[in-house]
Amino acid sequence: MKNTAQITILIALGNLWMARKVLRKREMLGD
């Protein structure tokens, strides 16, 4: 159970990081 929870958290963090990257790119393009 512990491993699956860790994997889920890692995936969630990865998705957040990717979303941030995309948003930052959009902001740069907006400027």
What's the pLDDT tens digit per position in 1-31?
789 999 999 999 999 999 999 999 988 887 6
Given this model, what pLDDT does residue 31 score?
66
pTM of the predicted structure, to 2 decimals: 0.61
Given this model, what pLDDT does residue 28 score?
86
- For residues 31 and 19, what is the distance between their CA atoms, to the nearest angstrom? 19
- For residues 10 and 16, what is the distance between their CA atoms, to the nearest angstrom? 10
Given this model, what pLDDT does residue 12 score?
98
Largest CA distance in the chain: 45
